[in-house]
Amino acid sequence: MVVYSYTKGIAMTNINDSSQNSVIRVYSGTTYAHAVQQHNQQANRLHNQAEQHLEKPSSRTKKVLKSWFKHQPTDELFCKLRLRALDKYMKAVFADPLKYGSSPFVDMLYLTIDVSESTVKQLHQEAKAYTGELLKKWKSGPSSYLKNNKDKYLRFAMFKNRLDEVITLHWGMSDEIRKHRPNHRLAKVAFNPARFTEEEIVEFFSWLKRVIGSGATQLLKKANVTRTDIAMDLFGIPVHYLLVNHTSAETRNYHLNSASNHLVGTQKLGNPASSHSTIYNKRRKYLDVGPSHVPLFSYKSSNNHLSISRFERVLCPADTVPVSLGNLDKLPYFLKSTQFYSPTLLLRMGTKRRNRVTKYGFAYWFHELNRKQWANSYLMAKKIIDVNHIALGYHQIKVLKALKKLIIHA
């Protein structure tokens, strides 16, 4: 059974089956802003609700949105007319991304903490006895129980919120590992901040600080950041038309869309074992694996979901210059060395080349398949889309500072 509810001019389809995403019907620039606000509040629960609120769209923004969404863009191949319309839309979005609901947020965080041996012993007992109001202990035991576990820690505990999102705590090392890694920190925390509220994060780290005891705040400040994922969602832009290049990446890869084997679903730029970028079909991922509480979009009465593409930069500071939690906001800018090209670049290609780009992704086609041997490659410099790096960089710092403060002062 499908029920339609109306909130602030949006028609949202609520499906009784909790495993299915609800659908927001977008009718205008105003409903687009409300829809993106609702989507972002669920996709990134950590953001302050006031910060998530999009201003009432200007007449220019409404015109841009109407011009693009009248095409009811979905994950398909476009004709020349639509590619030119997409070009105008993408230029508007990248010129003022926050206005269109595209802002960077933290999508994963790994911390290693230099706790003492006595704290390690206490963690074992305290994790067993954990009783929180917002988080519940879900699993704990030897790390060997964990599937595909690559960490060298002896034990783990997982803490769930009401949406079944998990914070994982690892601790302790064998004498043999300690012998070979004498400076390895004895505790690690891994979680996706976007899946938790401020209150849930504070509850966990308040408990952890209590277990650590005296000096816990300073210890957290000095915690080593081993991985941080910074992501940004782009609405109404299919991933196969995101022509992206990372100038310092030495390797590229791709995965086909599981629902359509002739279109790229994921573009990978850089070595996956270190810092790298991933651009993928987030709408498809929501439908395939969830989370199901995040609403999707459709235009008017269409049953086709509008495209949502995610750009995600995985930063591994330990590979370059180490970064502590106290300096989290000093992480490199997530779009550093990244270039986006206008989709109209495809109009300067023959059908065979164009199909390869939409199948493998632009960077993989250009570097790995084409080996940069394209007569019209000189056009690339002219087709670079201007990105408002100042606004995005400022917002990244703002988000990282807020998360740092939340954890350290929990």
pLDDT digits (tens, 9 = 90+) for 3-34: 333 333 344 444 334 567 888 888 888 888 88
Q: Average model confidence (pLDDT) for the chain? A: 88
Cα 362 from Cα 339, distance rounded (Å): 11
Element (H, E) at 268: strand 260-269
Which DSSP letter does residue 20 get?
S
Cα 314 from Cα 246, distance rounded (Å): 13
Give the pLDDT mean for 213-230. 96
Which DSSP letter does residue 276 get?
E
Band the pLDDT of 52: cuts 50, 70, 90.
low
Cα 362 from Cα 343, distance rounded (Å): 10
Average the pLDDT over each of 7-11, 122-126, 178-182, 343-347 and give the range with the smallest value.
7-11
Instruction: Confirm if 349 and 357 have CB atoms less than 8 A apart.
Output: yes
Instruction: Please tell me whether residue 383 adopts helix, strand or coil conformation.
Output: helix
Higher-confidence position of 64 and 18: 64
Instruction: Confirm if 225 and 331 have CB atoms less than 8 A apart.
Output: yes
What's the pLDDT at 199?
96
pLDDT digits (tens, 9 = 90+) for 281-297: 999 899 888 888 898 88
Q: Is the pLDDT of residue 258 over 70?
A: no
Band the pLDDT of 148: cuts 50, 70, 90.
confident
What's the pLDDT at 11?
43
Say what percent of the chain tops pLDDT 70.
91
In terms of average pLDDT, the best of 1-15, 66-80, 340-354, 359-373 is 340-354
pLDDT digits (tens, 9 = 90+) for 186-206: 899 999 999 999 999 999 999
Instruction: Confirm if 10 and 24 have CB atoms less than 8 A apart.
Output: yes
Element (H, E) at 288: helix 282-289
Cβ-Cβ contacts under 8 Å for 221 (sequence gap 6 or more): 324, 325, 326, 408
pLDDT digits (tens, 9 = 90+) for 79-108: 999 999 999 999 999 999 999 999 999 999
Exposed e or buried b for every residue in 71-110, given b needs 16+ CB within 10 A?
bebbbebbeeebbebbbebbebbbeebbbbbbbbbbbbbb
What DSSP line would sit under 39-74, residue for residue?
HHHHH-TTS-HHHHPPPPPPHHHHHHHHHHHTT---
Which structure tokens are listed for 288?
């395939």
| Single-letter code of the amino acid located at 8 | K
Which structure tokens are listed for 88?
């105008």
Give the pLDDT mean for 54-82. 86
Band the pLDDT of 230: cuts 50, 70, 90.
very high
Instruction: Please tell me whether residue 171 adopts helix, strand or coil conformation.
Output: strand
Give the pLDDT mean for 113-130. 92
Band the pLDDT of 2: cuts 50, 70, 90.
very low
Q: Is the pLDDT of residue 48 over 70?
A: no
Q: Is the pLDDT of residue 50 over 60?
A: no
Band the pLDDT of 300: cuts 50, 70, 90.
confident
Cα 394 from Cα 402, distance rounded (Å): 12
What's the pLDDT at 53?
57
Would you list the domain boundaries of the chain?
Answer: 2-106+228-405, 115-221
